Amino acid sequence: MTGHGNIDLCRRAFKNGAFEFLTKPVDADLLFEVVGSAMEQQKAKVEARQQWQPLQEKLATLTAREKEMLEQLILGYSSKEIARQCSLSPRTVEAHRANIFTKLEVNSLPKLLKTYGDIAKETNQQLWSNIMKRILLSALLLGGIVSTASAATGVLSQKNLSLDLADKLAQSVLQACAKDNYNVAVTVVDRAGTPLIMKRMDNAGPHTVEASRMKAFTSLTTKNPTDNVMKGSQSNAGAANLRDIPGFLLLAGGVPVKSGEQVIGAVGVGGAPGGHLDQACHAVAATGDEGYYASAKYVHSEQRASDQDTSSRPGVGQFVGGKEKDRLGGASLAAGYQYGNGWRTEGEYTFRQKTEFTSGSTTFPTSLNHLKLNTERLMLNVYRDYSLGYGVSLFGTAGVGIAKVKAGGWQGNAAREYADSTQNNLAYSLGAGISYSPIDRLSFDVGYRYVDMGKVESGYNTFGNVRGLKDEQMKARLASSEFTIGTRYLF
């Protein structure tokens, strides 16, 4: 190209494929050298395109969606990022990625970039431009990280109370106070003492806002409920001057918000009489973690078969109870969701347990009925947690679900069998327990529950009874008293 000092013209010329910039007057030898170099470069491009022909044919086999994902892969996006941008699940992205690797005959991402990066550069200038921008941005970020590495060694990573959770806590407290017809103000502060939420009920006094803020600040700073701080200052002369600290208010109504053992904020309430709000707020505030969880339990059961009898017993005398209780161990697995307001729900599967009970009659005191049961359960449980502080919580629970019971057995000896019968009974449970969280998101639970699995009955007798008939079934009502020890992890 020959040209002059018009910068805009030169820029547009290079953009449209110019190879070199020459100014007049042009030296003949230099022009010849430049033209020769341009021809060599063009020849190399032609040869490269010929080599790319098979690769372009493979590219043509990709679907539109796969081509879109190929561009994302070349740009360096992860599968999760691609899934988010394309509104797909990560599993679907992985499936498309596998198809791309198969069709293009590559077995790794580096090989994909090496093989098809040059094609992207030559045939898709916009894609190549995006790649270069991403590389440049990564380099700039890396440079910033390296340049500040020495300073970053002193940076702390800390948990803090989110605005969303602060709003939930404040709203829960206001709802609890409204039920008792108390007009209050509530303030929620983060771990630095900065107010996140301040709310005042319509008829609350103007002083309640500042009172709630000071209670929250006092609780955060002391990492204790303000009721405890107040009592400590009254009983300990050395702590009496706490009331003189600027911003402190030693009245009940402020509680810390904890994540595990870390204090991440505090809640303060002003306007209601008495210190009962301290406990009410604490129950709300200390259950702030929200998310899915999984749990496993060891279950020690004492199953009881009450009201044992047979369905048709004329001529066999009065019913006589035998072994009505059986103790055994078992296990269960559960998955659920913790709502961050003290409530959680879960689905629980209790693995199969085998038990055996006996009964008889006054006419045949030694010919006992042996009722053999196999039980397993699938339950939907609801829990309500009440925090006591220091990682300790009490909980109450109720559940409803299905108990699958297989009932059979024999009479007198194993040859006189009752047929097996399988039934699905409605089951319900009630219980309570205590939890301890030694570290964030991990809890250990100890509890008791009563489970009613309804009435069970075996199949009919396969042998002739005293009347020569096969019309008897063993029957009982089945319940279980269970002590559980388990662990729970919040994701």
Task: Determine the pLDDT at residue 383.
Answer: 95
Task: Determine the pLDDT at residue 179.
Answer: 74
Task: Determine the pLDDT at residue 116.
Answer: 65
By the 10 Å C-beta count (0-12 exposed, 13-18 middle, 19+ buried), 266 is classed as: buried
**Is the torsion defined by CA of 470, 476, 480, 481 positive or negative?**
negative
Task: Determine the pLDDT at residue 423.
Answer: 92
With a cut of 70, list the residues of the chain below it in pLDDT: 1-36, 38-39, 41-52, 75, 113-154, 238, 260, 273-289, 310-322, 361-367, 389-390, 440, 466-467
Distances (CA, A) of 98 to 59, 62, 70, 171: 14, 12, 11, 48
The residue type found at 307 is D
Which residues make up the CATH 2.40.160.20 domain(s) of the chain?
291-490
Q: In the CATH scheme, what is the code of domain 291-490? A: 2.40.160.20
Structural contact between residues 456 and 478, judged by C-beta atoms closer than 8 angstroms:
yes
163-281 has which fold? Beta-Lactamase (3.30.450)
| Class (C level, CATH) for 7-126 | mainly alpha
Coil/strand/helix, residue 64: helix
Which residues make up the CATH 1.10.10.10 domain(s) of the chain?
7-126
Pick from 341, 344, 259, 340: nearest CA to 294: 344
Task: Determine the pLDDT at residue 297.
Answer: 95
Coil/strand/helix, residue 62: coil
Convert 404-423 to b/e letters by CB count within 10 Å (16 or more is b).
Answer: bbbbbbbbeeeebbbeebee
Pair of tokens at residue 247: 């911003």
The residue type found at 158 is Q
Region for residue 341 given its phi and psi (left: phi exceeds 0; alpha: psi -120 to 50; beta: otherwise): alpha
Which residues make up the CATH 3.30.450.150 domain(s) of the chain?
163-281
- Our separate counts of H helices and E strands in the chain read 12, 15
Task: Determine the pLDDT at residue 145.
Answer: 47
Q: Which residues are bridge partners to 84 per DSSP? A: none
- What pTM, to 2 d.p., does this model score? 0.47
Please count the other Cβ atoms lying within 10 Å of the Cβ belonging to residue 382: 14
End-to-end CA distance of the chain: 64
